[in-house]
Amino acid sequence: MIYSYTQISQYLTCPRRYRHRYLDGWKEKDTRAAMLFGRAFERALAAYFLRQDAAAALFQEWKLYQDQKLEYSHGDTWDRMLEQGIQLLERFCQEDRVRIRQPHRNLQIKFVRPLSGQNEFVAYVDAVGRLDNQRCLSNGRPLPAAIRRNRMDCWP
């Protein structure tokens, strides 16, 4: 069996929800605009680091939800969120503070660790790169020693 932080967290929060999602295979449809937009923006950032058109990627991913009934907060709309996302992308590109060398390898890094028996724990790191020329994770924090030891061959 493969375990992840999300699975363990869901089980500890609500064992019944865990059973429905992971054992019975039910899928919840997310209707929170902020969550879906965050996923679209993450894909746009990946496109940027892969030297693709980040604004086009954002539009393409966000457009998938344009006609869906979403829960918006703080007076947001689909158009307003797209406009803010493009402005944020432009600022991110202008500041040019983040570098990810070998983005095919350093975006969405999967770590698997064996547990007892045939069980494994899996975790993902969104990105590994440099912020203001310092090695860091996608959240801007310095790299933990365990990750540095396991990935020294790929540091940008």
> Residues 47-106: pLDDT tens digits?
999 999 999 999 999 999 999 999 999 899 999 999 999 999 999 999 988 888 888 888
Among 16-30, 81-95, 105-119, 128-142, name the most confident range: 81-95
Cβ-contact 127, 99 below 8 angstroms:
no
Q: How far apart are CA 129 and CA 147, in angstroms?
A: 12
Q: What is the pLDDT of residues 131-152, one digit of tens each?
A: 888 877 666 666 565 455 554 4
Helix (H, G, I), strand (E, B) or coil at 155: coil
Token duo for residue 15: 């064992």
Domain boundaries along the sequence of the chain: 1-28, 33-96, 103-154
Q: How far apart are CA 137 and CA 76, in angstroms?
A: 30
